[in-house]
């Protein structure tokens, strides 16, 4: 289903171009979704890591006085310590997974956005349609925050 704002363009563009603009909006949303998921995974992992470091300092390093053998004994004796280390590693791996997905989605989005910009002369060939192109680009910028005026990010 095509976005309502894109459907309302009526005479400003043809159906294939509307479909292309709709695909662009979908790719931008996919990119933003992965960006948010990546940020959340990174944030949770950071909080867990800071909490674990604070726990290590207060409950293991300070009481042992910095003795290495006592430190490692207390660190690896507790099942919860191993659990938290695995949780932090899992959070880091999740963040890396979403970062790869985010990068792939951003590449797809940017490639399609640049394609629309490069093909704008073909998509709006008539002089009257060329005037409508500016209105379409303004709508895409205001409604979906997609810049079609320039290829640079």
Quote the CA–CA distance of 108 and 100 in Å, as a whole number. Answer: 12
136 with 9: CB under 8 angstroms?
yes
Quote the CA–CA distance of 136 and 142 in Å, as a whole number. Answer: 10
**Tokens 């093909």 belong to which residue?**
119
Q: One digit per residue, pLDDT tens: the chain, 153 residues?
A: 788 888 888 778 888 899 999 999 999 999 999 999 999 999 999 999 999 999 999 988 888 887 888 888 887 887 889 899 999 999 999 999 999 999 999 999 999 999 999 998 888 887 777 778 888 999 999 999 999 998 887
């Amino acid at each position: 289903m095509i976005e309502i704002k894109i459907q309302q363009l009526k005479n400003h563009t043809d159906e294939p171009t509307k479909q292309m603009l709709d695909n662009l909006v979908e790719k931008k949303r996919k990119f933003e979704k992965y960006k948010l998921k990546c940020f959340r995974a990174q944030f949770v992992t950071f909080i867990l890591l800071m909490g674990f470091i604070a726990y290590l300092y207060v409950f293991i390093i300070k009481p042992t006085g910095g003795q290495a053998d006592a430190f490692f004994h207390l660190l690896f004796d507790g099942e919860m310590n191993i659990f938290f280390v695995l949780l932090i590693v899992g959070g880091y791996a999740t963040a890396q997974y979403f970062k790869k997905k985010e990068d792939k989605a951003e590449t797809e989005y940017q490639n399609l956005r640049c394609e629309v910009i490069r093909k704008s002369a073909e998509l709006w060939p008539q002089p009257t349609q060329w005037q409508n192109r500016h209105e379409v680009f303004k709508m895409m910028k205001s409604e979906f925050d997609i810049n079609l005026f320039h290829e640079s990010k």
